[in-house]
Structure 1
Amino acid sequence: MKRYDLRHLKENFAGRMSEIIKNEAVSGEVVIFLFEIGDFSPVQQSADLVKELGCELMNSLKFNEADWTIVVKK
């Protein structure tokens, strides 16, 4: 299990998240992503991306007032 903090990318986190899932995570691995939500649209964007990449979204929750955490199994 690895954790990636993508908050520094603000709303541009999806490209890096996709890159990590495709190139760094191994099949069966669980990966935790932390990103900034702003207007909540990134929550749906992240769920759609996980589905598009053929992975399982295991958990999605609000981390604090500004951040969101998702748990993905490749």
Structure 2
Amino acid sequence: MKRFDLRHLKNDFCPRLKAILDNELEKGEVGIFLFEVLDFDNVQKSADLVKQSGNTLLNSLRFNEVDWTIMVRKETTKVAE
């Protein structure tokens, strides 16, 4: 299990989330991602990105007033484009 803090990226965290899912997690490994919710559309964007990448969203919850946490299990060895 690895933890990734993406809060410093503000609304532009999706490219980094995708890069981590593609390259930094092993198949079967769980990643915990923390990002800032300036726009609640980002919660849906993160869930869509996880689904499109062929991985499993295990949990998605509000961490505090401005931060959101998702847990993702890496399912694929190569991302489906």
**TM-score, normalising length: structure 2:** 0.90
Q: Percent identity?
A: 62
CA deviation vs aligned residue, 1:28-70 (integer Å, no higher than 9, x gap): 0000000011121100000000000000000000000000000
Matched, 1:10 2:28: no
- Native 8 Å contact 2:33 2:69 kept in 1: yes
Unaligned runs of 5+ in 1: none
Count of aligned pairs: 74
Secondary structure of the corresponding residue to residue 54 of structure 1: coil
Q: Which runs of 5+ in 2 are unaligned?
A: 75-81
In the alignment, structure 1 residue 23 sits paired with structure 2 residue 8: no
The equivalent residue for 2:53 is 53
Higher CA-based Rg: 2
